[in-house]
Amino acid sequence: MGTRDCQHICGESSPAIGEAGKTGEWRDSFPVIDPEKCVVARQNKPACFLCWLYCPDAVVTKTIPIQINMEYCKGCGICAEICPADAITMVREQ
């Protein structure tokens, strides 16, 4: 089973979620949110959302509580860096 079935003769893609594959597979560490520290979770209202704003892959939801789509989170750790409450910890993938 080779790649000929795609019938491309040059590099080709379409703008679609998952077009580059499940990029979460690239991750070597993943973010863990502590609800005791997260501003959104603690106040139970739309607030802060800096992780949502800064995530370069748009995998953080603007919801209460915040959720992260681990199928596409590449584990860059920007959310953990930006979090003003230090609520996000990056944990090594096993």
Partner 1 sequence: MAKKSNTRILDGNHAAAEGAKLSRVQVIAAYPITPQSPVTERLSEFVEKGELDAQYIAVESEHSALAVCTSASMVGARTFTASSSHGLAYMHEMLHWAAGARLPVVLACVNRAIGAPWNVLNDQQDSVSQRDTGWIQIYARNNQEILDSIIQAYRIAESIYVPVMVCYDGFVLSHTEMPVNVPSQEDVDRFLPPYKPHTTLDPNNPKNYNLVTFANPRVNAEGVLCHGYMELRYLLQEALQNSRETIIKVGQEFGELFGRSYANTLWESRLNDADIVIVAMGSLVMEAMVAADILREAGHKVGVLGLRVFRPFPKADVVKALEKSRVIVIFDKNISYGLEGATCSEIKSALYGSSVRAVIRNFIVGLGGRDVKARELAEAVNKSLLSLKEGDLTREYPEWICAI
What is the CB neighbour count within 10 angstroms for residue 71? 12
Q: At 29, list the tokens.
A: 């560490």
Q: What are phi and psi of 60, to 5 degrees?
A: -100, 130
**Cβ distance to partner 1 smaller for residue 31 or 75:** 75
**Cβ distance to partner 1 smaller for residue 16 or 44:** 16
80: three-class secondary structure by DSSP = helix
In which region does residue 53 sit, left (phi positive, over 0), alpha (psi from -120 to 50) or beta (all else)? alpha
The window from 9-17, 48-56, 60-68, 77-85 that contacts partner 1 (CB under 8 A) reads 9-17
**Cβ distance to partner 1 smaller for residue 5 or 36:** 5
Give residues 19-38 in contact with partner 1 (rule: CB under 8 A): 19-21
Binding site for partner 1 (CB under 8 A): 1-3, 5-6, 8-21
